[in-house]
């Protein structure tokens, strides 16, 4: 009987989930053209996921642009698809990155908007050798969402990612160590530093691609940062970050005294993500480009997460020794020093005991030769052995200071 009740509850939960999913799908489909109704459920699901990703990218790219535009006379993007159509904000963004003044049309007609967009594309293609495929000025002026997002992504790749360098690690960090710190299994081999070429990598990409060398380099860095943290597996830039533990592990490795990593295994995904983003903004000045709900979802947007991680990488490029390994090394050093102290002290005490026995016993000399031998032994103790064991005594004092 109990088994039947449990089965019924599970069925009810599944039915409830399906019910709410249907409501969510209905709300989404009401905003789409009637042609969407002709699609089968699988195709509608793909379209819905794409729309959700576009929505997240729009929000992320808007925050990214505003981070720079606000530095220039308080310029601001409210709606990415609408506010970029006249080309002024795009030109202002390029002026910030290039530190140059780009001529622009001041009129408000569509002709002036097209001229500004053309100058923007010309600047990217001719001055920065970025090949833009299938991005037409009139589409941007009309506010085409896909092409607008694609153009901003290409600008991000060139100006935000182009200065990424191969990460350096503390020479004491055992990246592939099999010692006491548990290593994280990696399903595919890590690319070597020599195989990662960063420059000129995004010149000929389509507008929707993520350069493999950027992904691989940041993947290597993230895996190294998170190695030694149980249960944290970095396989991608989507689902591996959903529970927030990877973000916190990276920040904990840099700031072990400011983050209680144990709590990450108790808190919810949203709590972990909120803590990580707030900490990164407070201590590293990293703008919160993504929100917890953008990461804690079934279909996270790779570009948005990758962009945020690029900022995190620039703030924490090196791989410090794992905090737990530092503690392990400290304990091991204490053990080695204690053993050395014990051995030296034992040798010293044995020597003192032997010499005291020699000096305290009653000595009777039967002839001058025996007295001379005794005198020579005293001189050896005084000039040779005493100096040697006095050095051992100094070593004991030094070890005692280190142990304290």
pLDDT in tens, 33-55: 666 656 666 766 777 788 889 99
User: Predicted confidence band at 403 (pLDDT cuts at 50, 70, 90)?
Assistant: confident
- The whole-number pLDDT of residue 188 equals 35
Domains 33-161 and 193-321 share a fold: yes
- The whole-number pLDDT of residue 17 equals 46
User: What's this model's pTM, rounded to 2 decimal places?
Assistant: 0.69
Cα–Cα dist 200/329, whole Å: 42
% pLDDT > 90, the chain = 47
pLDDT in tens, 333-379: 777 788 888 888 888 888 788 877 776 766 666 677 777 777 777 77
- Domain positions in the chain are 1-31, 33-161, 193-321, 325-403
When the pLDDT of each residue in the chain is averaged and rounded to a whole number, the result is 79
pLDDT in tens, 68-125: 999 877 899 999 999 999 999 999 999 999 999 999 999 999 999 999 999 999 999 9
- For 203, the enclosing helix (H) or strand (E) is none
The residue behind tokens 């109990």 is 2
Using the predicted structure, report yes or no on whether residue 20 has a pLDDT greater than 90: no
Please compute, for residue 112, the number of CA atoms within 13 A of its CA located in the half-sphere on the CB side: 9
Cα–Cα dist 63/76, whole Å: 9
- The whole-number pLDDT of residue 25 equals 58
- What is the mean predicted confidence (pLDDT) over 237-265? 95
User: Predicted confidence band at 397 (pLDDT cuts at 50, 70, 90)?
Assistant: confident
Q: Regarding predicted confidence, which is higher, 25 or 264?
A: 264
- Please give the span between the terminal C-alpha atoms of the chain, in angstroms, as a whole number: 65
Beta bridge partners of 169: 319
- The whole-number pLDDT of residue 116 equals 97
User: Predicted confidence band at 192 (pLDDT cuts at 50, 70, 90)?
Assistant: very low
Determine how many CB atoms are found less than 10 A away from the CB of residue 244: 23
> Which tokens go with 367?
């002839």
Beta bridge partners of 319: 169
> Which tokens go with 237?
């830039």
- What is the mean predicted confidence (pLDDT) over 271-297? 97
Cα–Cα dist 340/344, whole Å: 6
Lowest mean pLDDT among 32-41, 154-163, 242-251, 343-352: 32-41
Q: Considering only the top CATH level, what class is 33-161?
A: mainly alpha
- The whole-number pLDDT of residue 74 equals 82
Domain 193-321 has CATH 3.60.20.10: no
- The whole-number pLDDT of residue 290 equals 97
- What is the mean predicted confidence (pLDDT) over 155-172? 69
Cα–Cα dist 37/340, whole Å: 80
Q: Regarding predicted confidence, which is higher, 303 or 161?
A: 303
SS3 call for 175: coil
User: Predicted confidence band at 214 (pLDDT cuts at 50, 70, 90)?
Assistant: confident
- The whole-number pLDDT of residue 177 equals 34
Q: What are phi and psi of 137, to 5 degrees?
A: -55, -40
- Per-residue HEC secondary structure of 133-166 comes to CCCCHHHHHCCCHHHHHHHHHHHHHHHHHCCCCC
């Amino acid at each position: 009987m109990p088994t039947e009740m449990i089965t019924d509850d599970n069925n009810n939960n599944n039915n409830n989930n399906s019910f709410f999913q249907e409501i969510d799908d209905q709300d989404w489909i009401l905003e789409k053209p009637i042609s969407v109704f002709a699609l089968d459920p699988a195709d509608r699901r793909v379209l819905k996921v794409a729309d959700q990703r576009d929505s997240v990218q729009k929000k992320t790219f808007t925050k990214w642009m505003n981070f720079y535009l606000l530095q220039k006379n308080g310029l601001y993007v409210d709606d990415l698809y609408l506010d970029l159509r006249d080309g002024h904000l795009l030109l202002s963004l390029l002026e910030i990155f290039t530190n140059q003044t780009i001529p622009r049309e001041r009129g408000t007609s569509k002709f002036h908007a097209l001229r500004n967009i053309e100058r923007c594309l010309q600047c990217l293609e001719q001055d920065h050798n970025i090949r833009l495929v299938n991005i037409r000025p009139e589409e941007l002026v009309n506010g085409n969402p896909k092409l607008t997002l694609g153009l901003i992504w290409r600008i991000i790749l060139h100006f935000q990612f182009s200065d990424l360098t191969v990460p350096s690690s503390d020479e004491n960090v055992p990246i592939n160590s099999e010692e006491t710190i548990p290593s994280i299994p990696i399903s595919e081999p890590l690319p070597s530093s020599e195989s990662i070429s960063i420059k000129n990598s995004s010149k000929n990409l389509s507008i929707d691609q993520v350069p493999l060398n950027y992904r691989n380099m940041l993947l290597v860095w993230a895996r190294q940062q998170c190695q030694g943290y149980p249960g944290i597996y970095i396989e991608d830039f989507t689902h591996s970050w959903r529970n927030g533990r990877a973000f916190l592990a990276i920040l904990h490795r840099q700031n072990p005294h400011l983050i209680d990593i144990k709590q990450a295994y108790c808190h919810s995904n949203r709590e972990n993500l909120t803590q990580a983003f707030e900490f990164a903004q407070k201590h590293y000045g990293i703008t919160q480009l993504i929100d917890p709900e953008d990461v804690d979802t079934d279909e996270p947007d790779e570009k948005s997460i990758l962009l945020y991680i690029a900022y995190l990488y620039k703030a924490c490029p090196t791989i410090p020794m794992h905090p737990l390994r530092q503690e392990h090394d400290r304990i091991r050093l204490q053990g080695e020093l204690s053993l050395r102290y014990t051995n030296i002290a034992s040798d010293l005490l044995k020597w003192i005991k032997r010499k005291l026995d020699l000096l305290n016993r009653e000595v009777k000399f039967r002839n001058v030769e025996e007295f001379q031998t005794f005198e020579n032994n005293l001189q050896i103790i005084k000039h040779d052995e005493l100096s040697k064991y006095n050095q051992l005594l100094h070593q004991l004092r030094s070890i005692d200071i280190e142990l304290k």
